[in-house]
Amino acid sequence: MPIMENHNSNVSRAEEIKVLANEAFKAHKYAQAIDLYTQAIQLNGQNAVYWANRAFAHTKLEEYGSAIQDATTAIEVDPKYSKGYYRRGAAHLAMGKFKEALKDFQQVKKLCPNDPDASKKLKECEKAVMKLKFEEAISVPESERRSVADSIDFHTIEVEPQYTGARIEGDVVTLDFVKKMMEDFKNQKYLHKRYAFQIVLQTRELLQALPSLVDINVPNGSRFTVCGDVHGQFYDLLNIFELNGLPSEENPYLFNGDFVDRGSFSLEVILTLFAFKCMSPSAIYLARGNHESKSMNKIYGFEGEVRSKLSETFVELFAEVFCCLPLAHVINEKVFVVHGGLFSVDGVKLSDIRAIDRFCEPPEEGLMCELLWSDPQPSLGRGPSKRGVGLSFGADVTKRFLQDNNLDLVVRSHEVKDEGYEIEHDGKLITVFSAPNYCDQAFRSLLKFSFDVNQKGT
């Protein structure tokens, strides 16, 4: 009898905690909701609703790997619980795994034949899978593929007399041009495609000449600014420049990936960053993020935005240029800056990163994938990625990597931080995020590092 009473008490308490978790979820406090759903699961792990709800909260934090794990458990607990399949299908869809998502939404449709949302998602998946098969059927082998950049001559594109926007005189991108272009973008005017082609092609040429790991020297007493994800938030980018000054040789920046997707002004952001790169290559450094890839751009908005504002040719051109972006930077031989994080094996040297052939779409495993996708974790060692790609790594992994390469600090981005940055791993790792209006949140958007070449640390 006491055992039964204890069980009933746990079930009742779990329901109370689930209500609190639901309230946290509705308030957009997704991390808090996950903690509460976890407490409910610990009291009663045989309730599929708790697992599916936690999966949904993970999805809101873009932790798709964790969402898939929870949704799968919900299905194992109750194979007839449609939301388990729905949550897993949604996570697969967000990761671009259309075939897996299709199977899940087919099951949802089978269990809930009259659910209009399930029918809509099923049609989306069917369309995506059909498109994928068509693209695979007509695809040209990599060795035979011709660069779209080589087929473009921007000099032959005429600028209409009625065009009143920013103009590049000759082949030199000037500060006056960049200022005028940003002002036009601020007023939601477009840049003529002739100049857009010129900026993107010149940036491609500059990036192609760089190694996969770029060394940066910051003179003693000089300032150097590292910015994290911008994600198409053009007005936040303007705010950064307003607060911290425009990029110049005296005021250099490193933008650490994820320039595009999600925000409505990804094209304006990338053209502005590329224009500064053309104006003065040492005024701005650019690193590849996991969103500088075809698969992410297809799902999260950049591809559609470019197609709408410019053309299909630009979609292909940006994809090519993103493959030229360096994967990481080292500042003053002491600070390693990368978008995602570290590796699934110890002993990776900076020379291994320099040796990566980066001129491709990111693979689903290996050093390049891990540089773009991995995240730190509070516990030691390594664990599965909450995103479903890359891995999670602890303070001991960070410490060994720094020791192996005679470095002092890892700076990375890739995660939303309420204060704009977070210091972890015993002060050896800093995450910086620079899109203050991302997901309707507001927080500090800028992290500055001042490097002294005569001192360790920052």
Q: Are the C-beta atoms of 293 and 389 separated by less than 8 Å?
A: no
- Residues 70 and 182: their CA atoms lie apart, in Å, by 44
Burial of 406 (0-12, 13-18, 19+ CB in 10 A): exposed
Q: How far is CA 40 from CA 6, 13, 22, 36, 176, in A?
A: 15, 8, 11, 6, 59
Compute the chain's Rg from CA coordinates: 24
Residue 381 backbone zone (phi > 0: left; psi -120 to 50: alpha; other: beta)? left
Q: Which residues contact 123 (CB under 8 A, 6 or more apart)?
A: none
Of the listed 92, 192, 231, 291, which one is catalytic?
Answer: 291
* C-alpha–C-alpha distance, residues 165 and 49, integer Å: 55
Give the separation between CA 291 and CA 381, rounded to whole angstroms: 27
Is residue 380 within 8 Å of 394, Cβ to Cβ?
A: yes
Name the region of 5 (left: φ>0; alpha: ψ -120 to 50; beta: rest): alpha
Beta strands in 167-279 (DSSP E): 213-216, 223-227, 253-255
Backbone phi, then psi, for 357, in 5-degree steps?
Answer: -85, 100
User: Could you confirm whether 291 is annotated as catalytic?
Assistant: yes
Task: Tell me how far apart the alpha carbons of residues 320 and 448 are, in angstroms, rounded to a whole number.
Answer: 31
The 3-state secondary structure of 117-139 reads HHHHHHHHHHHHHHHHHHHHHHC
- Burial of residue 360 (number of CB atoms within 10 Å: 0-12, 13-18, 19+): exposed
What are the b/e assignments for 135-168, b being 16+ CB within 10 Å? eeeeeeeeeeeeebbeebebeeeeeeeeeebbeb
Q: Which of 261, 321, 254 is nearest to 287 (CA)?
A: 254
Q: Report the catalytic residues.
A: 291
